[in-house]
Amino acid sequence: MEIVTRVREVRKALGDDMEILVDANQRWDVATNIRVANQLEDCALYWYEEPVLADNITQCAEVARAITTPVATGENEYTRYGFRDLIDNKAAQFLNPDIHRCGGFSEMMKIAHLAAAYDVQIAPHLVPELSIHVLVAIPNAALVEFLAGSPDDLWVDPPQIVDGMMAPPDRPGHGMEFSAEAVKGYTE
């Protein structure tokens, strides 16, 4: 399959010291996911993300049971109750709560603590400028997801990735302020 060839090429280009994460983006059925993940075993992936439709927790668990690469999911899940269902079903070893969807800071902290009791790790979906505050406050933080260039035009002085690491802003509250220029773009 083309995906297998592509990921193998990426592994070859990056060498063995760089982590590679694959996101199926809810695209395949259980059998296809298992086939792809098994073929990619030699690439030593860090995780295999959202194998099946996000609402189908039992199928996600089926994939997680069948493959050796850890599964990540949760960017489309809501509240601690949704994440409890993922954990109950052993659907993933990494959870990706999105701070906009899962219920904000307080709910994400509850999700993270619930996950900690099961040794499940937290890697929030995007919004790193807000999620970073949760990650530095929990014992089971895996990584912060960052898309190059994503928050820079929206915020005044957003936290940056330096040598692969991000620190939260040293300002009161979440410390983020919209740039006047960005707000103008959405209001005029």
CA 148, CA 88: separation in Å to the nearest integer? Answer: 34
The window from 15-23, 29-37, 85-93, 160-168 that contacts Mg ion (CB under 5 A) reads 15-23
Q: Count residues binding Mg ion (CB under 5 A).
A: 1
Helices and strands: H and E segment counts in the chain? 7, 7
Pairwise CA distance, residues 22 & 148, whole Å: 17
Stretch of residues binding Mg ion (CB under 5 A), selected from 6-14, 22-30, 103-111, 178-186: 22-30
Rounded to the nearest whole angstrom, what is the least distance from the CB of residue 24 to Mg ion in the complex? Answer: 9
| Residue 145 within binding range of Mg ion, rule CB under 5 A | no
Strand locations in the chain (E): 21-23, 47-49, 71-73, 94-95, 121-122, 161-162, 165-166
Nearest to Mg ion of 23, 177 (CB atom): 23
Residue 23 or 29: which CB sits closer to Mg ion? 23
The interface region with Mg ion, picked from 18-26, 61-69, 102-110, 162-170 by CB under 5 A, is 18-26
What DSSP assignment string belongs to 120-171? Answer: -EE---S-HHHHHHHHTT-TTB------TTTTTTTBSS---EETTEE---SS
Q: Which of 8, 11, 21, 23 contacts Mg ion by CB under 5 A?
A: 23
Among residue numbers 35 through 54, which ones bind Mg ion (CB under 5 A)? none
Residues forming the site for Mg ion (CB under 5 A):
23
